[in-house]
Structure 1
Amino acid sequence: MKHLLFLLLVTVSAQAQPPQLGRLFSSPEQRAQLDAQRYGAPRADKATPSPPPEPPPPVELNGVVQRSSGHSTIWLNQTPHNDTKGTLRLSNGQPLRLKPGQRYDPASGAIREVTEAQP
């Protein structure tokens, strides 16, 4: 009777234990897919250089109007700009002085007359 009671208790306790989970992810591909969903797509190799940025388009000074009130208007690339101080600044802060009819090419850094042939 003791043996029967012992076997009964062992059988009941074995059935009460939760099942083992085992392996959660069955393949490296599934793990990579979950990582991509969580962290985003993997980044490209950092050794691959990115292409250089394209230089801004040339700037052409078409005309200047200076009023007696002190306000002025300049035309850059056929577009009027009001209340300017007359000095253009490049993105690095360097001042750029153009006369009407001149064009500055950021790719070459050259200032040319608009009537000159393009290189």
Structure 2
Amino acid sequence: MENEEREALRIKHEKELEDLRQKKFDEWSERKKREVMIANEFRKLQAEEEAVETNGSSSSIHNPNRRADRAFKRWCRRKDEQSKEEKRQLRLETRRIRRMQRRSIKRYQLQQDLQLAKAFGYS
């Protein structure tokens, strides 16, 4: 009998927990739906504002899209920085190569001088 009461209490407790979980999940789901709805409304308002700014034409030459213009400028700036960095790397590489060539030329000239000196009897 005591086991049956325990089992009944356990089942009742599990049912309450399951109901609570379901309630929390439903609240979370509703909150997420509201957030998505608000985000969609915000996007619609932004689109309407952009349309008003551009006088109803989103592809007008005279009234360009500000956000796209900003993105294009950012892209151009990135490309410019990349090209500057590539030029800098090339400059450093050519300096390094020239320095190595000068050193090897000097080394070669010194070897030639030593061979000539040995040929003329200097040691």
TM-score normalised by L of structure 2: 0.26
Judging by fraction of residues, say which structure has more strand: 1
Q: Which has the larger radius of gyration?
A: 2
Give the structure, 1 or 2, with the largest relative contact order (CA under 8 Å, sep 6 or more): 1
- With normalisation by structure 1, the TM-score equals 0.26
